[in-house]
Homo-oligomer: A and B are copies of this chain.
Amino acid sequence: MQTNNNIYPAGLYSFQDECLSLLTGVLNVSKAVTYLVDNQRKPICYKTWQLQPAMHRQYMDTFYRVDPLHPTQFVEQTDATVVKMNDLVNSQERYNHPYYRDFISPWGVQDIVEIFLRVDNKLIAGFSLFTSKQQPEMRSEDIRKARQLHQFMQFSLEQSLDAPKHSHFKSFCEQFQLTPKERMVVELVRQGLSNKTIAANLDCSLATVKTHLQHIFCKTGVNSKAEITSQLYNQH
């Protein structure tokens, strides 16, 4: 079942179960499915909740090819976390699209919300939540809750996988548009050096280091060197 060089930590499978239970328990959905994503961005390890086996089989045989929410559709958009189908595709397109006309609609589905989990910007798991035509339409309030749940699942995942966070430094610097010299200061601050030592490292005066720090504090909204460090390790 598992492909070659794709090793998932044992906990990921139960994590998947727990997430599915959480999402279906808290959000008002009629059926749901979850999967992991392999190196080739192919969904594997499906787990379903109140989803007809025949429907799943039909998807696996045919309709995955035209699924607008398929993981391969979100290769570039690494920021796509919670995607609502009816927002992604307008009603006109839906009417003509084989995925809706021949698959989604006949199974009584009104809308689908897709939730993606990533590690290091790499998609590793997804959840499809279905609402039926009998249910009230998904409101922005529900999407907000879904995003909230996503945030916690993502946090939980990073905690348990001990996800590498080396990209934080870069994203931190870019996010606040720090200048090259300021970035150097940030890196030396991260190492726990005193201002005097930083000045020695950069071959400038203590006053200059303090000015750089002042600019960094101002740009980032942080109040101390210690906070910079904790920011670099705790994204949130």
A residues in contact (CB < 8 Å) with B? 11, 14-15, 17-19, 21-22, 25-26, 144-145, 148-149, 151-152, 155-156, 159-165, 189-194, 224-231, 233-234, 236
25 pairs across A/B with beta carbons < 8 Å? A15-B155, A17-B236, A18-B151, A18-B152, A18-B155, A18-B156, A18-B236, A21-B152, A22-B148, A22-B151, A25-B145, A26-B148, A152-B152, A156-B156, A159-B159, A159-B160, A160-B163, A161-B163, A162-B163, A189-B226, A192-B227, A192-B228, A192-B230, A226-B229, A229-B230
Instruction: Note all chain B residues with C-beta closer than 8 A to A193.
Output: 226
Output the nearest chain B residue to A149 by Cβ-Cβ distance: B26
**Most chain B CB within a 10 A radius of its CB, from A22, A151, A164:** A22
Output the nearest chain B residue to A228 by Cβ-Cβ distance: B192
Query: A145: which of B14, B26, B189 is its contact (CB, 8 Å)?
Result: B26
Q: How far is the CA of A25 from the CA of B153 in the complex (A)?
A: 14
So how many copies of this chain end up in the complex?
Answer: 2
